[in-house]
Amino acid sequence: MALWALSDLHLGHDLDKPMDVFGPAWAGHVERMAANWDEAVAAEDTVIIGGDISWAMKPEEAIADLAWIHARPGRKVLLKGNHDYWWPSTARLRRLLATQGFDSIDFLFNSALACPEAILCGSRGWLQPGDDGETAADAAIRSKECGRLRLSLEQAAKLRAAHPGLPLVAVMHFPPFRANAESSCFTEILAAAGIRLCLYGHLHGLAGRRAPHADVDGIRCLLTASDYLGFRPLRIDPGCATLTGTIPASLSGGSDAP
């Protein structure tokens, strides 16, 4: 059994949303991603998908994308990203999965999950003070996400009591740290809970190349955006907070979008 991570899938099977408008690195990315995933991941493995899953605006529009994810090997754990407008309440999502028979998919939202490799916890996160486009209104959203992170960590602590041998792995969509790998409210919360590994996405193009990984407040933060990883799931060693896969030295193209 192995733990894998891949975020920012940006699927749009039922939508006219070609991703190659963001650069040549995205050309045919869905087909390449499927081939890489199917080659690497086994049925008993767990794959963490850290947000920006589908361009759909409504749950029903995301069914084809969820079907694509369900068809891939492994148990899939999904976290919400800033572009996941289709994501309703968790209860409604679970009902949707049940009607479609997508039993290999679960959600990480105001919760924590135990899998054979680790206990997963986390939240979407949000823009940090000083980030491009950050406004005063973002402070309230950031505070709410901090609350969600604390709630998830509380659930993780309960699971840890039942599974004392499992390491904790945090998952976020936005980077947990501030610019230049500075400490943030998120890294402080994670560090206080004893988290030593946090997977995140959201950064693309130049942003991903400039700061893909960082060690902040004693936490190893790893970028798992699909374009940065060459659309290949990254195998994670949750016990020692290091990579066991290969990270491309740089992107072959792309832009700072999406």
E strands, 79-237, in order: 105-107, 112-114, 119-123, 168-172, 197-200, 213-216, 219-223, 234-237
Domain annotation covers residue 108: yes
Domain annotation covers residue 23: yes
- Residue 30 sits in a domain whose CATH number is 3.60.21.10
Closest CA to 57 of 93, 89, 96, 86: 86
Domain annotation covers residue 257: no
Structure confidence by residue, pLDDT tens digits, 113-144 = 999 999 999 999 999 888 888 888 899 999 99
Domain annotation covers residue 253: no
Examine the pLDDT at 253 and tell me if it is beyond 50. Answer: no
Structure confidence by residue, pLDDT tens digits, 184-231 = 999 999 999 999 999 999 987 655 555 557 788 889 999 999 988 999
Domain annotation covers residue 30: yes
Domain annotation covers residue 206: yes
Note the pTM of the prediction, 2 decimals.
Answer: 0.89
Q: What is the domain count for the chain? A: 1
Task: Provide the residue range defining the domain that includes 10.
Answer: 3-243
Q: Within a 10 A sphere around the Cβ of 145, how many other Cβ atoms?
A: 20
